[in-house]
Amino acid sequence: MKGIFITFEGPDGSGKTTQMEMLGERLESLGRDVVYTREPGGTGIGEDIRDILLDSSNTAMVHRTEALLYAAGRAQHVDELIKPALGQGKIVLCDRFIDSTIAYQGFGRGIDLGFLNELNNIAVAGLLPDLTLILDIDPALGIERINEKRVLKSGRAKDRIEQEHINFHERVRKGFHHLAASDPKRCRIINGGKDTETVHRELFRIVNEVLLNEDT
Ligand code: TMP
């Protein structure tokens, strides 16, 4: 039995986490077995790596270290959680995966894309998403949404990546556009600036068309 692997991507504040939860609930209501996970993170080791990566006091981190840490967490995640869940026929919904490395470390930080593709290949050991949903948003709006969330949720400070200059986030967005254009079969781009329900309907339509063929 082979499961289905769907990844969610997009700039910070694009709403992908909310959308992933909404899609998961919809799939569960159709009787599907859904696993929710995220990167960086998803395993004990991965969550420890996440803490290092997002800690805003880690100002000394060089770009290569950053790229290697994301890849290290991914290797663990693939072997420990994603592949076994797919082997059990589950639908795995993952908040960020290989494309974030290309968009953030490649387009954002300027690390060579060939090197990052190779690093991703090593980390995933042959596993690619069946479908990647990229939520597109103007980074200024994304950051505004993050700021609103911070105020609502106890005012936690922005993490190390969120703190980057708006120009960095603009480059990341271009990276996602590049990915959508270069692999249109796997990567679908959706306007994340619309209201939550509209975005959900569009995402479900795509998932249904590409992977499910449910009568709904
Ligand atoms: P999150 O806030 O969506 O959970 O993601 C954490 C941050 O990590 C987000 O700013 C994007 C960044 N990131 C990368 O820079 N490279 C990667 O490979 C991944 C998975 C995330």
Give the Cα separation of 7 and 171 in Å (integer).
Answer: 21
SS3 113: helix
pLDDT value at residue 150: 66
Classify residue 87 as exposed, middle or buried by CB count within 10 Å of its CB (0-12, 13-18, 19+).
exposed
Identify which of 51, 76, 96 to mutate to test ligand 1's pocket (most ligand atoms within 8 A of the CB).
96
**149 has a pLDDT exceeding 80:** no
Q: Tell me the DSSP string of 38-81.
A: ESS-SSHHHHHHHHHHH-TT-TT--HHHHHHHHHHHHHHHIIII
Is the peptide bond prior to 11 cis by the omega test (within 30 degrees of 0)? no
Looking at the domain 4-210, which fold is it?
Rossmann fold (3.40.50)
**114 has a pLDDT exceeding 70:** yes
Q: Determine the distance separating the centroid of ligand 1 and the alpha carbon of 1, expressed in angstroms.
A: 31
- Whether 96 is in the pocket of ligand 1, judged by its Cβ within 6 Å, is yes
Give me the mean pLDDT over the 199-204 stretch.
97
pLDDT value at residue 146: 86
Q: Where are the domains of the chain?
A: 4-210
What percentage of the chain reaches a pLDDT higher than 70? 95
pLDDT value at residue 154: 60
